[in-house]
Amino acid sequence: DFLSVNGINRYHVARLTPGGAVDTSFNPGLGADSTVWSLALSTNGSVIIGGQFDSFNNYPCSRVARLDSTGNLDLAFDTSSLALDGTVWALAPQTDGKVIIGGDFTMAGGLLRPGIARLNADGSVDTSFDPGLGANDTVYTLLIQQDGNILVGGAFTQFHTSTHQGLTRLQPNGELDPAFNPGAGANDVVYSILVSPTNSAIYVGGMFTA
């Protein structure tokens, strides 16, 4: 939610050098008009941002935007008509340029997408990814596994028509993965997920005590 870094104007997004100084070669101009809550790097080096902003450098953006390596808005990723009705808290880019977004929105591009949606490389909603009734509360974290399945964590207690407390896994098309069974799940919010690169063990962190 910052407006400057070390005395240099940087509205909600900045890039630092490895030593911690502001990288002046990355200049987002007027930046986002409200808080940026999530960041992700795509495989081509572009930066995807998510949050509760409605514009970036005075150009309309609906809660998510893609920036090039110099901080300029990538106009080929156009979310101006996405009309997300809530905050984007989590981002998970795919290798094909698509990006999965998670948050407390219920609609995306005029389609029902409670808590989660996938966007095409041009910023439009990917209709081939259909989570059904989605999450009944906020999605705070996303992670794509090597097999393409998507781990989802948050404050929800139900996903689509099944009870899933704080944690679930989706198949690449957005449907629940029947092979993933966390039992009673977490008894409070899941804020972060990590998968071990050595044995694929799944770690989760959050407010839960069981």
Q: What percent of the chain has pLDDT over 90?
A: 99
Band (pLDDT 50/70/90 cuts) for residue 84 is: very high
Q: What is the pLDDT of residues 122-140, one digit of tens each?
A: 999 999 999 999 999 999 9
Is 166 within 8 Å of 206 (Cβ atoms)? yes
Sign of the four-CA dihedral 10, 14, 15, 16: positive
Band (pLDDT 50/70/90 cuts) for residue 51 is: very high
Residue 13: is its pLDDT beyond 90?
A: yes
pTM (2 d.p.): 0.96
Residue 142: is its pLDDT beyond 90?
A: yes
Q: What is the pLDDT of residues 173-194, one digit of tens each?
A: 999 999 999 999 999 999 999 9
Residue 168: is its pLDDT beyond 90?
A: yes
Cα dist from 169 to 4, 23, 105, 205, whole Å: 38, 37, 19, 16
- The pLDDT, as a whole number, for residue 113 is 98
- The pLDDT, as a whole number, for residue 133 is 97
Cα dist from 38 to 92, 125, 138, 140, 175, whole Å: 10, 19, 14, 10, 24
Tokens of 177: 């993965």
Q: What percent of the chain has pLDDT over 70?
A: 100
- pLDDT mean across residues, the chain: 97
Query: What amino acid is encoded at 24 in this protein?
Result: T
Band (pLDDT 50/70/90 cuts) for residue 45 is: confident
- The pLDDT, as a whole number, for residue 43 is 84
Band (pLDDT 50/70/90 cuts) for residue 1 is: very high
- Cα–Cα distance measured from residue 56 to residue 32, given in angstroms and rounded to the nearest whole number: 4
Tokens of 51: 């949050």
